[in-house]
Structure 1
Amino acid sequence: MDLSKLLNPSSVRFIGQTTSKKRLFQDIGEVVAAAHGVNASVALEGLQERESMGPTGVGHGIALPHARLHSLDRIVGVFMRLEKPLEYDSVDRLPVDLVFALFAPKDSGVDHLKALALVSRTMRDESICTKLRANSDPAKLYAILIESRAPQAA
């Protein structure tokens, strides 16, 4: 699995400002609806339900919100770079500016975990995060993410 299977160019955005985590989740819902055909309110509800179990802010300015939805037949993602970092209740209490949301079918099992691990590994790479933070063009952000985890030749 690679990030090009989860993202498409229209699922990557630069957001000038968002006022709250709820507003961020609404924005994510709108993007996943436009880019992947997922119902925006179902996506929002799924993100809020998962977040109620514990914050998905993993530290270092990164959040990985995710949800399992009945309406999906494959795993899809949304990436957002926030111009103004947002208070998020992250584990390190730092605000978030890089958000990679994942949506998986309810019965995706291990595939959901594999996708989450791939995204987590990618977002832990300091050089990738530095490049992401240095760009606001969604096409460049998409290219950085896709190139970051391209399959490596042996």
Structure 2
Amino acid sequence: MKIVEFLQPAAVVDDLAGTSGPAVLGELARPLAEAHGIEPQRLLETLLEREKLGSTGIGDGVAIPHGKVPGLPALMASFGRSRRGVDFKAIDGKPTYLFFTLFAPENSAGAHLKALARISRIFKNPAFRDSIMKAADAAEIFRLIETEDAKY
């Protein structure tokens, strides 16, 4: 499974405006909601419910908010970069700059876990994270993710 199978270029936000976790998650839900005809609030609530269980801020400036959505036909994702950083209650206590949201169909545990593992794997690379932070725009961010993902 490749990340580009569930992340589309239109779902990459290169400069998140939100200064709080919920605001950022709302921004990241919007392009997916529009592209798939889903109510944005439904996606946002899915992410907020998951965050109540514990932050998906995995540290090193990265968060992977995720959740399952009943009726969703397939995996879908969005990515966003915050140049200022957001207090996302990450496990290392540091600001979060890179947000990769993942939504999965209700009965897709295997695909959901494989996708989370793949996302986590590519974002463990400090040089890759740095290149994402320096990218000029959303198109370059998508190309960087696509290139890094092809290595695995």
TM-score by length of 2: 0.95
Q: CA deviation at 1:16?
A: 4.7
Aligned letter for 2:30? Answer: E
Instruction: Give the aligned partner of residue 20 of structure 1.
Output: 20
Taking the aligned partners of 2:103 and 2:96, their CA distance within structure 1 comes to 19
Q: Is the 8 A contact 1:8 1:35 kept in 2?
A: no
Q: How does 1:67-82 map to 2 (within 5 A)?
A: 67-82=67-82
Taking the aligned partners of 2:75 and 2:148, their CA distance within structure 1 comes to 19
Please, what is the CA RMSD of the aligned residues?
1.3
Aligned letter for 2:93? Answer: R
Residue 149 of structure 1: SS of its match in structure 2?
A: helix
Q: Is the 8 A contact 1:79 1:99 kept in 2?
A: yes
Instruction: Give the aligned partner of residue 31 of structure 1.
Output: 31
TM-score by length of 1: 0.93
- String of CA shifts for 1:33-60, please: whole Å, max 9, x gaps: 1344432111001001100000000001
Taking the aligned partners of 2:121 and 2:141, their CA distance within structure 1 comes to 17
In structure 1, runs of 5+ residues without a counterpart are none
Taking the aligned partners of 1:54 and 1:36, their CA distance within structure 2 comes to 27
- String of CA shifts for 1:65-84, please: whole Å, max 9, x gaps: 00100031111110101111
Instruction: Give the aligned partner of residue 5 of structure 1.
Output: 5
Taking the aligned partners of 2:124 and 2:38, their CA distance within structure 1 comes to 27
Q: Is the 8 A contact 1:85 1:96 kept in 2?
A: yes
Instruction: Give the aligned partner of residue 116 of structure 2.
Output: 116
Q: CA deviation at 1:109?
A: 1.2
Instruction: Give the aligned partner of residue 58 of structure 2.
Output: 58
Number of residue pairs aligned between Structure 1 and Structure 2:
152
In structure 2, runs of 5+ residues without a counterpart are none
Q: Is the 8 A contact 2:16 2:24 kept in 1?
A: no
Give the ranges of 4+ consecutive aligned residues of structure 1 lying more than 3 Å apart after TM superposition: 35-38
Q: Is the 8 A contact 2:29 2:78 kept in 1?
A: no
Q: Is the 8 A contact 2:17 2:24 kept in 1?
A: no
